Amino acid sequence: MSLAVKDFLVYVIELCAERFFGGSKTMAYNQLKNTNQLSFYKDTYDTSHTLSSEYILEEIKEKFTEYGIVL
């Protein structure tokens, strides 16, 4: 995995932590991993990294809802 992809995944975790988990990066990481979103963003890096933060957060929120995670 390239450094750019790793940096992007850290960015996604931090976004999610701030928006949904009161800044807890551990909780954000665990939920993103459990819902397969880290793999999704890793696999779709070429297009995903061009999306706005708000769009990414909306996608994450939708996936959490599908998995029954209450935010």
Q: pLDDT of 15-69, one tens digit each?
A: 999 999 999 999 999 999 999 999 999 999 999 999 999 999 999 999 999 999 9
CA separation for the pair 58, 68 (Å, rounded): 15
Structural domain of residue 13, as residue ranges? 3-66
Alpha-carbon separation of residue 53 from 5, 8, 68 (angstroms): 16, 11, 22
Is the residue at 71 inside a domain?
no
Rg (CA), the chain: 11
Is the residue at 26 inside a domain?
yes
Domain tally, the chain: 1
Q: How confident is the model at residue 9 (pLDDT cuts 50, 70, 90)?
A: very high
Amino acid identity, position 66: E
The pTM of this model reads 0.92
Is the residue at 45 inside a domain?
yes
